[in-house]
Amino acid sequence: MTCPQMPCFCPETGCSFIGSTGMLLEHFIADHHWPSTNVKYGWCFNTDVQEGIHVLSGEDGHLFLLNVMAEPFGCVVSVFCVQPHDTEPKFRCAMSFSYWKNDLFNSQSSEFEVPSTTLTDGIPRNCILFIVPKFYLEKDSKICVTMKQSLKNLMPSVPTGGTTNLFGIPS
């Protein structure tokens, strides 16, 4: 079993802060002044499509980082759950973006599993989860983000050899 208070790392270049996820949350807000949002699972919130990191605090204390990076073709957005150890994904994220431009309506959405990280090597850069094309970007563009607990996390555990009924309740 892994200790839940094992350290996680600040991903900011040149910063050597190490601490629990609770300590990291305070560090991100107080020392780096990253914007933060308290997230209620299953509820959408709008956030700017601006380069940088946005701190998300789940209603159960989980810590997430939403990372927006500018690329030549637009902005790429990724979300990570910061945990003291790698685990199977426990969360999903749905993102959507809609925009009218030149009498054309663009709408896109995506839902994906949220990978976990300790941030030991900084923000993972090899995981693009959502792209907002440059053609549709304006200075006040926003995306709708909905964090969700994975269904497999919400299912009750069944003793070995047990079965569940149609609703996932042990029988």
pLDDT in tens, the chain (171 residues): 345 556 889 999 899 999 988 999 999 999 999 999 999 999 999 999 999 999 999 999 999 999 999 999 999 999 999 988 767 778 999 999 998 878 888 899 999 999 988 888 888 887 778 999 988 888 888 999 999 998 765 545 444 455 555 445 555
Q: Position of tokens 């990253």? A: 34
Domains of the chain, CATH where assigned: 8-152 (2.60.210.10)
Measure the CA–CA gap between 63 and 11, rounded to whole angstroms: 14
Phi, psi of 47 (to 5 degrees): -140, 150
